[in-house]
Structure 1
Amino acid sequence: MLHLRILLAWALTAGSPLAALAAAPAAPAACAPIPLAGGNAAAVATPSAADAWGGPRRGNEATLSDRVVRYSIDATLDPVKHTVTGKQQLTWRNRSAQPVCSVYLHLYLNAFEGPGSTFMTELREGNDKFRSGVDVKDGDWGYMQLRKVAQGGAPVQWRFVQPDGGPKTDRTVVRLDLPQPVAPGASTTLDIDFFDQLPRVIARTGYFGSFHLVAQWFPKVGVLELPGERGATAPRWNAHEFHAHSEFYADFGEYDVRITVPKGYTVGATGEQTGAPVEKDGKVTHRFVQGDVHDFAWTADKRYARPLVGHYNGAGSPQVTVRVLYTPEYAHNAQPALDATLQSLEFFSRTLGPYPYRTVTVVIPPHNAGEAGGMEYPTFFTASSFAKVDPGTLTRDLLDFVTIHEFGHGYFYGILASNEFEEPMLDEGLNEYWDQRMLRAAGRDIHLGTPLMKTLGIDLRLPVFDYERLGAMTEHPADPLGQNSWKRMSGGSYGTVYSRTATAMRDLEAAVGTPALERAFKLYYARWKFRHPSIADLRQALIEGTGQRATVERIFAQQVYGVQPVDDRIAAFSSNEVLPQPGYVQYRGRRIELTSAAIDKAIADKRAAWKKAHPEAKPGEGPFPYRTSVLVRRAGADVPQTVTVTFADGSRATAHFSGTRPWQRFTWTKHGKAVSVQLDPQHKVYLDASKFDDARTLENDGSVAQRLTGQFASALQTLFSFLVSL
């Protein structure tokens, strides 16, 4: 029991978090309490007010964003102990009309301090492996410690809170009770000393060897939302715990960060390096400054090679310098990553809006640090690293895609700055969709064959949105796209934030037309850049931009706010000759019996005469009409659908339908036998649970055979994709 008494004695020591909790005074009576957004917060249904976040940015303002915060940070890295010692001045402006006596800070790094954090609890209880599934071993843990917080020289007391009802042992959100209230419209500055123990690289941050990716590393203030912003009806703090599948949300501001590392280390960071590095006592201090962003991350490694540098010059943008940092073993990844970044700058600038910053820093993680790959921060992101990246291979496709994806976050996560805790589809999902549009525009497919198959001349590939559809959980979706990041059935269901959102947006594009969809997204970006849109704001921009309210509202009701599968199929298909039948008929006022023998003779005579007159007739053509019947079953949501029947003479008949009826039958009577039927012939509905049951054939028909062959190939490609991932 000695160790417990020692722990208790430490816990009550002045300056410890528990002592601070015990000593924390109540908020001054002059301040009305401001609640926190709850643990069930998710898709917003009411559009924000026109003047939310100060209103749309017109481009004539002094700054790109309405800067709410300013961080001035001095950070020193110990690359042997893998620690960061920091001093921070945090200046925060109260945008509300009431005094504020308490503010909330995120201490994200405490997600990795032990089994009691919300992050680790969710991984354990959900049996989910995060990203590549690296387990935390002894000595791999990390944490953030507040050593001092002061306001105007007066000490600030703090206590840890769990806004989402997570375990009381979670310490990723801390409440500061201020000695001096912050008046409406006024600002306050907090002086904060903090200490980081970086974890072995896991979930977007940490170290391996001399490599350090330093992210979620400084105390970061939450967001005070006002009425009319993202569905708020009264002021509220938005500061969620760090969940296993959540990311981030913060105010725009300015960062001025001085990073001190041992001599010989290369540093890359958010923003522009300002002035020459300063060397003293074997250490070098690098200064990075960036305004109009809402986060800051950096990297340092003594193994980095000379950076690969490129430049982008595009209309409306400053000259953008792109730096790719990489270690020697992955030198062959650097040029493809640079090329993909420059291509992304051009595509996103042209299709959404000009890139507004002067820098992009791309990091290729070294060997054994794959957990650091595929993560975004403003003007700074990590790509992936592969042993081989030959053109026309899956690994090259993945390197390109991850680079495009992480750059794209600079728009959907960075400039649009949505709330990734509560509405992850606005970042991960919309970005995934826009990335695939970029690849589709370039004529790129996903290569799924193995190197051996390629040497044998077998080139298996899949169109990008067909590939995306494979992970969209089309048959049994578990959660609405608008659900928050942590209340989901599983990690797999969270993954549909990417693929199912991309598929739903692709179906919306197919329904409204590409020009209308592109107009709508340009409107969304222009209206909400450097603000914080909600899902309701996206919906409104899509309605206005496309001019097709009913279609947009249908998809949002079914897929974003609801979770309705789409499941249509061809249940039956027949095409039979309509022949005279025996029995009595009325002829000139008399009842006459047509016998079977007479009918058979008449049919034979008519066939012979017709064949003589039409010697070049194809099978399925003749003197008698055919009655074609198609039965469609619907087991899911109402989506507009098309059925097309192809006949032996090459003609076609089409029917359109919608509604919630579980079945519909369509019939045609015409000369010529039907040979095939196709549901969704223009491939507009990718959310359909299965595309294998969209067609049937009665006779040999090349187009149908080709389509079915393509579906079989798709199945094979899915299998090979799985094998490659092992």
Structure 2
Amino acid sequence: MYATIFFTMVCIPFVYGQKEFYNNNKFKQLDEELPTPNVYRTGSGAPGAEYWQQKADYVIEASIDEKLHRLNGKETVTYFNNSPETLTYLWIQLDQNMRATDSDTYKIRQNKLKKGTNINQLAAIDGFPEYDGGHKIQKVTTSDDQDLKYTINKTMMRIDLPTPLKSGENFSFKIDWYYNINDRLLMGGRGGYETFAEDGNTIYTITQWFPRMAVYDDFNGWQHKQFLGNGEFALTFGDYDVKITVPSDHIVASTGELQNPDDILSETEKKRFDEAKKSDKPVVIVTQKEAEKKEKTQASDTKTWHYKAENVRDFAFGSSRKFIWDAMGVDINGKTVMAMSYYPKEANPLYGQYSTEAVAHTLEVYSKYTIDYPYPVAISVEASNGMEYPMICFNYGRPEKDGTYSPRIKYGMISVIIHEVGHNFFPMIINSDERQWTWMDEGLNTFCQYLAEQEWEDGYPSRRGPAENIVPYMKGEKDNITPIMTNSESLKQFGNNAYGKPATALNILRETIMGRELFDYAFKEYAERWAFKHPKPADFYRTMEDASAVDLDWFWRGWFYTTEAVDISIANVTVQDLDSQDPKVEVAKKKAERDNQPKQITTIHNEEIKLETRVDKRPELKDFYNSYDPLDADIEDYDNYKKYQSKLNKKDKEWLASKHFVYQLDFENVGGLVMPIIVELQYADGTSDKKYIPAEIWKMDDKVVSKVFVCEKEVTQFVLDPNRETADVDTENNYYPRKPEVNRFKLYKSGANQPRTYDSGNLNPMQKAKKNKK
């Protein structure tokens, strides 16, 4: 009989000399991390031959009760099952339930007591208990009014189908609901209402307002992660037919195209709108004077605005009698798109001057780098916040009451408009899963925002995009940083992680690693492949490589999967003189080197006392070796030189005759993140030369590498990353010889000489200029 022997296998790192060895190569391919290509998503990053996605069409009737601040709605949803699977239930998103008093959002939010805590801050801890938030579902039925069984699990609702929904079939159902609109300035949030104390009027920004289909796809099945507040929205494309009933003096800005302008707009407004279509400058459709008149009267009857939108993933609208409205036509590759802005008088003159121009600029720049903007309108609504939806976004941009503004509010407003309008492309068209990966829409969009800002005016003060701007975050405490590839609800430093770092990474890819031509082609290919589809991170990574023939696995791994920082140091420089083998030349070099050696201290002291040696006293003691110099050339040296010369051609001799300097630079990877080595050689004659070494130099050793430079001129200074293009977190070790960092400081009196911003209560530059003229 054979004995049965059981082995317990434990995977442990191999230890040799107390050092752990494991495969942590920076250039290890991403194959193990990325999903296996299949018929739905290919290895090239393109949609596969059998790619599919669901569709959901909505017919909605909604009304706003201005006295109660309540939205009432009813909808019919037709869901198309394009998947190869049979479905027995559907999942619906009830995002307003994040504001219910029993919401997990409030339960998991950490709180600390602070001095000066006010009543509103205490009320926010439990989600403002007096506010009855959340979707109030009244009924759920089939299209022929038969009750459907449903289960609400926090921000998700499951509808159990009466019969299985097979592949290729569709199912229609109805939902009636209402919810109490939140006071956005008090409670925060992406949407809500703002009431102006001066005139008692309200601006409504209605978002996440209707029960919406969750995404069902080939990657996750149902994407029904709970909505906790940070992770935004995974949504299905469809067609919308929406009727919105509001007070008759309200102007409604909405996703889609207005279907009943004759019932809604005055003849003057329609005429102005037609003029705007052909104008290359904004045309005011509802003037400030007309809006101010409505603010004083406040109609008590209602009107219904009818909008339709095709192939959109969401729907939002704004409504107010305070709205001024302007518009202009934008030519996008032969198609006219209406760029429009809606804003209260409190946002003038800043909004009237810049908003619609910024909308038009965004459409033009983004269309150049991604796809032609496909929708008929793009809208910016001033609502003292920033949030995006198909064809419409809500932004801030209010000057001081005297009409002046600081540069911060001006450029902040232009930037937020570019950013939120830009979201039409990411994720409204290139429809990534925001609930899972915030960076896929915010990061890519922030990168394109940076391109648009830089094309707005020279020296635009972009906040995110330049490599050096991300340095403070990258060199921060690692315990307070998460990799970009982290679920949206688990991100630390949300803005830096999901907006700043990926935008910077893409800018470095474009400007430093790939070059503009390769990057722009691949980035546009990604946008075209995944327009109106649901891309995942692997689809982006693979497409960027597939369309450029650049292996970027090391880059994705370092920048997106780790929290390592860029810190490359010039650890050492070795200078080597070329050996010409000419005895005359080399002897002179050796003697000069010897003569420049420091003297021994005994020799120095002997010279000081003018010591006379015995040989000096007795010359007869001198022999051959007293005049012999071992560095002198002999006949054998000259013979060897003649033989060497005979083997050289004319070009070799000319090269040797010229002056050359040879330097070995040793580079150390201190931060861990491998990057290209960009080194500037500054010469003694005042000129300079920049050398670019691809990141692949680190392939065999990602800790220390060496590179030899042969120069025709003497180098006086070596500088790493001279243009601050790699986000190197420590520039002090970028110089050889070392250059001390200059730390500038200023003494401050308490409360004096502090930075002044538009909201500080101090005069902005425009106000100071006016004051100086008096």
* Both structures adopt the same fold (TM-score exceeding 0.5): yes
C-alpha contact (below 8 Å) 2:91/2:224 kept by paired residues: yes
Number of aligned residues:
588
Higher mean alpha-carbon deviation, 650-659 vs 197-206, is at: 650-659
CA positional deviation for 1:309: 1.2
Corresponding residue number in structure 1 for 2:155: 172
> What secondary structure sits across from 1:155 in the alignment?
coil
Q: Percent identity?
A: 21
Return the alpha-carbon distance in structure 2 between the equivalents of residues 252 and 483 of structure 1: 25
Return the alpha-carbon distance in structure 2 between the equivalents of residues 119 and 591 of structure 1: 93
Instruction: Say if 1:628 and 1:159 are closer, same or farther in 2 by CA, change over 3 A.
Output: same
Return the alpha-carbon distance in structure 2 between the equivalents of residues 541 and 208 of structure 1: 43
In the alignment, is residue 633 of structure 1 matched against residue 671 of structure 2? Answer: no
Corresponding residue number in structure 1 for 2:582: none
Give the alignment of 1:20-59 within 5 angstroms.
Answer: 45-46=34-35, 49=38, 51=40
> What secondary structure sits across from 1:413 in the alignment?
coil
CA positional deviation for 1:49: 4.6
Return the alpha-carbon distance in structure 2 between the equivalents of residues 378 and 472 of structure 1: 32
C-alpha contact (below 8 Å) 1:573/1:677 kept by paired residues: no
Instruction: Say if 1:723 and 1:45 are closer, same or farther in 2 by CA, change over 3 A.
Output: farther
Instruction: Say if 1:294 and 1:444 are closer, same or farther in 2 by CA, change over 3 A.
Output: same
CA positional deviation for 1:205: 1.0
C-alpha contact (below 8 Å) 1:304/1:327 kept by paired residues: yes
Return the alpha-carbon distance in structure 2 between the equivalents of residues 118 and 291 of structure 1: 34
> What secondary structure sits across from 2:73 in the alignment?
strand
Letter in 1 for 2:35: T
Specify the structure having the higher radius of gyration (Cα). Answer: 2
> What secondary structure sits across from 1:543 in the alignment?
helix
C-alpha contact (below 8 Å) 1:47/1:540 kept by paired residues: no
CA positional deviation for 1:684: 3.8
Higher mean alpha-carbon deviation, 173-182 vs 192-201, is at: 173-182
Aligned match of 2:176 in 182, 193, 202? 193
Q: Deviations over 1:124-165 (max 9, x none)?
A: 369999xxx99564645531111100124321222233xxxx
Consecutive unaligned residues of structure 1, counting only runs of 5 or more, are: 1-42, 59-64, 162-170, 448-460, 584-588, 597-623, 699-703, 714-718
Corresponding residue number in structure 2 for 1:408: 422
C-alpha contact (below 8 Å) 1:148/1:194 kept by paired residues: yes
Corresponding residue number in structure 1 for 2:685: 649
C-alpha contact (below 8 Å) 2:570/2:665 kept by paired residues: yes
Aligned match of 2:387 in 371, 375, 385? 375
In the alignment, is residue 689 of structure 1 matched against residue 729 of structure 2? Answer: yes
Letter in 1 for 2:392: F
Higher mean alpha-carbon deviation, 426-435 vs 378-387, is at: 378-387
Give the alignment of 1:252-651 within 5 angstroms.
Answer: 252-276=237-261, 282-305=301-324, 307-316=325-334, 318-332=335-349, 333-365=351-383, 370=384, 373-387=385-399, 393-447=407-461, 465-466=466-467, 468-469=469-470, 472-476=473-477, 478-488=481-491, 490=492, 492-493=493-494, 495-509=496-510, 510-549=512-551, 552-571=552-571, 579-580=593-594, 631-635=666-670, 636-650=672-686
Give the alignment of 1:110-189 within 5 angstroms.
Answer: 110-114=97-101, 116-124=102-110, 135=124, 137=128, 139-140=130-131, 142-151=133-142, 152-161=144-153, 171-189=154-172
Return the alpha-carbon distance in structure 1 between the equivalents of residues 676 and 736 of structure 2: 20
> What secondary structure sits across from 2:451 in the alignment?
helix
C-alpha contact (below 8 Å) 1:472/1:499 kept by paired residues: no
Corresponding residue number in structure 2 for 1:458: none
Pairwise CA RMSD of aligned residues? Answer: 4.0
Letter in 1 for 2:536: S
Q: Deviations over 1:516-547 (max 9, x none)?
A: 00000111111110101111111111002221
Q: Deviations over 1:261-316 (max 9, x none)?
A: 112111111111112475899211111100100101111112223x0111112215
Instruction: Say if 1:321 and 1:644 are closer, same or farther in 2 by CA, change over 3 A.
Output: closer
In the alignment, is residue 223 of structure 1 matched against residue 215 of structure 2? Answer: yes
Instruction: Say if 1:149 and 1:401 are closer, same or farther in 2 by CA, change over 3 A.
Output: same
> What secondary structure sits across from 2:500 in the alignment?
helix
Consecutive unaligned residues of structure 2, counting only runs of 5 or more, are: 1-31, 196-201, 265-298, 578-591, 600-623, 632-658, 746-752, 761-774
Corresponding residue number in structure 1 for 2:721: 680
> What secondary structure sits across from 1:74 in the alignment?
strand
Q: Deviations over 1:670-698 (max 9, x none)?
A: 89764322112454412x22345423557
Return the alpha-carbon distance in structure 2 between the equivalents of residues 50 and 468 of structure 1: 41
Corresponding residue number in structure 2 for 1:28: none
Corresponding residue number in structure 1 for 2:580: none
C-alpha contact (below 8 Å) 2:80/2:170 kept by paired residues: yes
Instruction: Say if 1:387 and 1:122 are closer, same or farther in 2 by CA, change over 3 A.
Output: farther
> What secondary structure sits across from 1:678 in the alignment?
strand
Letter in 1 for 2:509: L
Return the alpha-carbon distance in structure 1 between the equivalents of residues 130 and 755 of structure 2: 35
C-alpha contact (below 8 Å) 2:347/2:399 kept by paired residues: yes
In the alignment, is residue 249 of structure 1 matched against residue 226 of structure 2? Answer: no
Higher mean alpha-carbon deviation, 267-276 vs 493-502, is at: 493-502
> What secondary structure sits across from 1:246 in the alignment?
coil
Q: Deviations over 1:376-424 (max 9, x none)?
A: 0000001212315879922221111111111110001111111001121
Letter in 2 for 1:544: D
CA positional deviation for 1:472: 4.6
Return the alpha-carbon distance in structure 1 between the equivalents of residues 735 and 95 of structure 2: 51
Return the alpha-carbon distance in structure 1 between the equivalents of residues 713 and 169 of structure 2: 81
Higher mean alpha-carbon deviation, 530-539 vs 149-158, is at: 149-158
Letter in 1 for 2:155: T
Corresponding residue number in structure 1 for 2:92: 105
> What secondary structure sits across from 2:547 in the alignment?
helix
Corresponding residue number in structure 2 for 1:11: none
Corresponding residue number in structure 2 for 1:31: none
Corresponding residue number in structure 1 for 2:698: 658
Instruction: Say if 1:668 and 1:465 are closer, same or farther in 2 by CA, change over 3 A.
Output: closer
Return the alpha-carbon distance in structure 2 between the equivalents of residues 661 and 45 of structure 1: 23
C-alpha contact (below 8 Å) 2:453/2:460 kept by paired residues: no
C-alpha contact (below 8 Å) 1:308/1:325 kept by paired residues: yes
CA positional deviation for 1:565: 2.2
Instruction: Say if 1:196 and 1:482 are closer, same or farther in 2 by CA, change over 3 A.
Output: same
> What secondary structure sits across from 2:505 in the alignment?
helix
Instruction: Say if 1:692 and 1:106 are closer, same or farther in 2 by CA, change over 3 A.
Output: farther
Return the alpha-carbon distance in structure 2 between the equivalents of residues 117 and 403 of structure 1: 31
Letter in 2 for 1:46: P
Return the alpha-carbon distance in structure 2 between the equivalents of residues 574 and 721 of structure 1: 46
C-alpha contact (below 8 Å) 1:570/1:695 kept by paired residues: yes
C-alpha contact (below 8 Å) 2:432/2:535 kept by paired residues: yes
Corresponding residue number in structure 2 for 1:611: none
Letter in 2 for 1:690: D
Letter in 2 for 1:142: G
Letter in 2 for 1:239: H
C-alpha contact (below 8 Å) 1:48/1:534 kept by paired residues: no
Q: What is the TM-score with the length of structure 1 in the denominator? A: 0.72
Letter in 2 for 1:339: E
Return the alpha-carbon distance in structure 1 between the equivalents of residues 744 and 705 of structure 2: 28
CA positional deviation for 1:566: 2.0
C-alpha contact (below 8 Å) 2:88/2:160 kept by paired residues: yes
Return the alpha-carbon distance in structure 2 between the equivalents of residues 44 and 292 of structure 1: 33
> What secondary structure sits across from 1:486 in the alignment?
helix
Return the alpha-carbon distance in structure 1 between the equivalents of residues 107 and 453 of structure 2: 38
Letter in 1 for 2:485: G
Return the alpha-carbon distance in structure 1 between the equivalents of residues 664 and 41 of structure 2: 55
